[in-house]
Amino acid sequence: MTAIAVMESAKTGTVGASLGNLPIPPLDGDGPLWLQIRRSIALAILSGDWPAGTRVPGELLLTQHYKTARMTVNKAIQSLAGEGLVERRTKVGTVVTARARERPVFEIWDAADAVRRAGGRYSYRLIDCAMVAPDSPIRKDMALAPLAPMIRMLCLHLADDKPFQLEERLINVEAAPKITCQPLENISPGQWLLVHVPWTEAKHSICARGAGSMVAEHLAVQEGEACLVVERRTWNGDVPVTLGRFWYPGDDHSLEGKFKPSW
């Protein structure tokens, strides 16, 4: 268990299941049911469990699965379609769009997607999760007030059980208040934030840095060895949401994004 209070996995009595061959994440019990369904399906898409081209189960099947009204399911699907995660096609049904995966991959270079695209087996490990002390020097990285609640997380992403990416993450709790009651041992903070927390602006920076002792230990490299470092900040309006710092062993990693103009 982490230093943050975690939510019981069956908060609403709904557990993870599958519909046909498609795994469906459990509902989180937070807010209106249509929003819970939307988040459940969005998580399946953004995590890669439902890849582009996947046919989404019909509304009647989803209505039976979630034990709710068809109107509730329809509202969730319409919301996902409005954001471009799914597309409704005549005589075909609702399918996951290619844009759904291209967007998060380009925006955050998702580690799970990168590993799977390369044919590897992805796994994730939460190393540490704790509140940041008021006098901690790392607060300057987020420019928050000394008493503003902030979480620091350290996560390791692996490819075929070998270190692929070390993630350092700072999260402004006031911008993402529900993160303090999430079971983050099983889902990376980036994937959770993408589904649950809106943002209006993002900034990337990429550089090379020598590995300190902590980074070297977790990435299994020599201290001082050059690493590729991607730093990503997001804001919601003027409010900082998160700072992610992603370390890669520098000798065999590159980043790429493929995208088209939106006009």
pLDDT tens-digit series, residues 4-60: 332 223 233 344 566 767 888 888 777 789 888 988 898 888 777 888 889 999 999
Fold: same for 17-102 and 109-249: no
188, 114 Cβ separation under 8 angstroms: no
DSSP tag of 139: G
β partners of residue 123:
158
pTM of the model: 0.62
Q: What share of the chain is helix, strand, coil (3-state, %, to 5)?
A: 30, 30, 40
- Taking domain 17-102, whether its CATH number is 3.40.50.300 is answered by no
Give the mean pLDDT of 159-181: 92
Q: 5: which 2 tokens?
A: 């209070």
What phi and psi values does residue 140 have, to the nearest 5 degrees?
-65, -25
Position 44 scores a pLDDT of: 85
The residue extents of the domains of the chain are 17-102, 109-249
CA–CA gap between residue 220 and residue 222 (Å, rounded): 7
Q: Any idea which residue has 């046919």 for tokens?
A: 55
Instruction: Collapse the DSSP code of 168 into the 3-class scheme (helix H, G, I; strand E, B; otherwise coil) and give the result.
Output: strand
> 109-249: what fold?
Chorismate lyase (3.40.1410)
